[in-house]
Chain A
């Protein structure tokens, strides 16, 4: 049973517009959430994270929103750039096991020039 879900396998966005990537989770014990970006032939790269005590975290063009009651988080990229084209993984961990990070299946983002 997949504990971290990314229901959109792919997303296309025009350059300069907002990209919104969504993630849902089922495990109510998750309390730390991360986003990773992956280019072909490379390992995933840490992008941004959020603790369950917050509902928003921002880092430059990237903002993550967390809605604990809905068990939903989203990553906003504004403005989107062609270099943002990659696979984005949502991930989460429990307070009892911070070192075991559970990843979703990923969303492939294409930013069209």
Chain B
């Protein structure tokens, strides 16, 4: 197992375009999380899944954001009509049980730049 994999590593898009990121968690992990990190800040919680069910969404996740985890495996995060304020590092993480018991395993992130 190579850990949590995120693709692409970098994405540059024009304002108003849609983008989609993919996360492949560690195979035996049933929980998957999306976080966003901007410069000088810690990761901010966006949403998480237990298997295929999306259990919690942050108010940061506006209507332009949607996340899916079909069949409880990989997950996608889509941002529609991107804005310059969406520029950030988008981090995916997974865990086998409750995150607090052993921490998350993070991927290396997808860096989004909206121009």
A and B interact: yes
| A contacts, CB < 8 Å to B | 4, 9, 32, 34, 36, 41-47, 49, 89, 91, 93, 97-106
Whether, in the assembled complex, B44 has its beta carbon less than 8 Å from a beta carbon of chain A, the answer is yes
> In the complex where A43-B107, A44-B106, A99-B56 touch, is A105 in contact with B100 (Cβ < 8 A)?
no
Q: Which chain B residues lie closer than 8 Å to A105 at the CB level?
A: 40-42
Tell yes or no: B93 within 8 A of A by CB. yes
Contacts A43-B4, A44-B43; A98 near B100 (Cβ below 8 A): yes
Q: Which of A9, A36, A100 contacts B103 (CB 8 A)?
A: A36
CB neighbours of B106 from chain A (8 A): 43-45
Residue of A nearest to B41 (CB): A105
Residues of chain B contacted by A46 (CB below 8 angstroms): 102-105
B40–A43 touching, CB < 8 Å: no
B residues touching A (Cβ–Cβ < 8 Å)?
4, 31, 33, 35, 40-45, 48, 50, 55-56, 91, 93, 98-109
- A89 adjacent to B42 (CB under 8 Å): yes
B38 to chain A minimum Cβ distance, whole angstroms, is 10
- Residues in A with CB closer than 8 Å to B107 are 43
CA of A79 to CA of B35, assembled, Å? 32
Min C-beta distance of A71 to chain B, whole Å: 17
Q: Which of B44, B105, B108 contacts A103 (CB 8 A)?
A: B44
Task: Check B102 against A91 for contact (C-beta < 8 Å).
Answer: no
Question: Which residues of the partner chain B approach A49 to less than 8 Å between Cβ atoms?
Answer: 100, 102-103
Closest-by-CB residue of B relative to A90 is B42
A102-B104 in contact (CB<8A)? no
Please list 20 pairs of residues, one from A and one from B, whose beta carbons are closer than 8 Å in the complex, sorted by A's number.
A4-B42, A43-B91, A43-B106, A43-B108, A44-B43, A44-B91, A45-B106, A46-B102, A49-B100, A89-B42, A93-B99, A98-B99, A98-B101, A99-B100, A100-B48, A100-B56, A101-B99, A101-B100, A103-B35, A105-B41
